[in-house]
């Protein structure tokens, strides 16, 4: 007889695979936006953090604010872990400290034990759930779970973390029982949250992809101006975000022409200015930004 945990494990694997397949056919900027959203969620910054990350990487002025610095540190950390995964390097507490965490000796030992004791043949998602249950601090637990996925070479799974669908009180009670008694409903609760998250993410990607299909009709209304606008949209759809100077340089346009293209895309709802500034403005691909924003 198939257990409830086995059934949910299969369903989680299926839903995440469906999400993986769907996002591969979406504009590249959609995948980037989901990656940044995962990073900002792991930092507790949410929707605002996604936009801050885009601004931090593409903005042209000043020193990043503290929250942008933390977000940028996390993004670099994930990039590094993705590269390390290719060499088979094992995860460790010291890797978490590289992203800016300061761990005391007992916490570091507990995390290392959890990372080592996760059953190697157990699927990556289940291993991440086991590791998350072994660490009391939610932010560190989710970070360690993400580290497991990075080490498994499953950076795509970061779009589904942390465990958003679990209420803090329910999470505390279930993981305490799991840690102390080795039993309880934490795995099924966590898998249930991941399944719902995967479905929500996939629906957002489908909407973004459908939106991109209709973009050409909107641009056709611009007449001759559609040529530069279409090139600008293509560039925007392949990056986190763009600034007017970077767009002008990459497309070999004059700055006025680049500014005009961005203004037209914004008026059509195909690009979104995310800084609110009058100077050094940053424009994101609207479909990607909307998809990430719908995750709540």
**Per-residue pLDDT reduced to its tens digit, 149-196:** 777 767 667 777 777 778 888 888 888 888 787 777 888 888 888 899
Task: Give backbone dihedrals phi and psi of 264, rounded to 5 degrees, phi first.
Answer: -65, -40
Maximum Cα–Cα distance for the chain, whole Å? 69
Mean pLDDT of the chain: 81
Q: Is residue 201 domain-shared with residue 227, that is, in the same domain?
A: no
Give the end of a domain, one of 170, 190, 209. Answer: 209
pLDDT of the residue at 277: 82
- 214 Cβ neighbours under 8 A, 6+ residues apart: none
Q: Are residues 126 and 38 in the same domain?
A: yes
pLDDT recorded at residue 63: 43
**Total domains, the chain:** 2
pLDDT computed for residue 61 by the predictor = 43
| pTM check: above 0.95 | no
Please give the residue range of the domain that contains residue 72: 4-209
| Whether residue 60 has pLDDT greater than 60 | no
Strand partners, 284: 272
192 & 238 share domain = no
Q: HSE on the CB side for 62, CA within 13 Å?
A: 12
**Average pLDDT of the segment spanning 139-149:** 81
With contact defined as beta carbons under 8 Å apart, do 110 and 135 qualify?
yes
Distance CA 130, CA 211 (A): 38
Residues 165 and 247 in one domain: no
My answer on whether 205 and 158 are in the same domain is yes
Q: Which of the listed residues 159, 194, 209 is the one where a domain comes to its end?
A: 209
Query: Are 20 and 123 contained in the same domain?
Result: yes
Position 148 confidence tier, pLDDT thresholds 50, 70, 90: confident
| pLDDT tens digits, one per residue of 61-116 | 444 555 566 667 777 777 777 677 667 666 777 777 766 667 778 777 777 777 77
């Amino acid at each position: 007889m198939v257990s409830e945990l086995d059934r949910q494990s299969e369903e989680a694997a299926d839903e995440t695979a469906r999400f993986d397949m769907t996002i591969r056919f979406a504009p590249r900027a959609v995948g980037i936006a989901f990656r940044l959203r995962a990073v900002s969620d792991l930092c507790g910054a949410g929707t605002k953090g996604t936009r801050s990350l885009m601004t931090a990487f593409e903005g042209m002025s000043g020193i990043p604010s503290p929250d942008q610095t933390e977000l940028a540190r996390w993004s670099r950390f994930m990039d590094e872990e993705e590269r390390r995964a290719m060499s088979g390097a094992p995860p460790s507490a010291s890797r978490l400290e590289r992203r800016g965490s300061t761990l005391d000796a007992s916490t570091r030992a507990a995390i290392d034990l959890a990372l080592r004791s996760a059953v190697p043949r157990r699927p990556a998602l289940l291993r991440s759930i086991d590791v998350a249950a072994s660490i009391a601090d939610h932010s560190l637990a989710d970070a360690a779970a993400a580290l497991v996925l990075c080490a498994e070479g499953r950076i795509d799974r970061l779009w589904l973390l942390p465990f958003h669908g679990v209420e803090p009180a329910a999470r505390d009670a279930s993981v305490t029982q799991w840690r102390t008694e080795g039993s309880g409903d934490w795995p099924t609760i966590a898998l249930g949250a991941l399944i719902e998250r995967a479905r929500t993410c996939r629906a957002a990607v489908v909407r973004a992809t459908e939106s991109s299909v209709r973009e050409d009709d909107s641009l056709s209304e611009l007449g001759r101006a559609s040529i530069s606008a279409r090139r600008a949209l293509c560039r925007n759809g392949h990056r986190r975000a763009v600034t007017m100077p970077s767009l002008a340089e990459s497309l070999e346009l004059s700055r006025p022409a680049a500014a005009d293209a961005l203004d037209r895309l914004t008026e059509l709802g195909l690009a979104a200015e995310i800084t609110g500034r009058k100077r050094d403005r940053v424009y994101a691909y609207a479909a990607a930004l909307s998809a990430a924003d719908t995750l709540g």
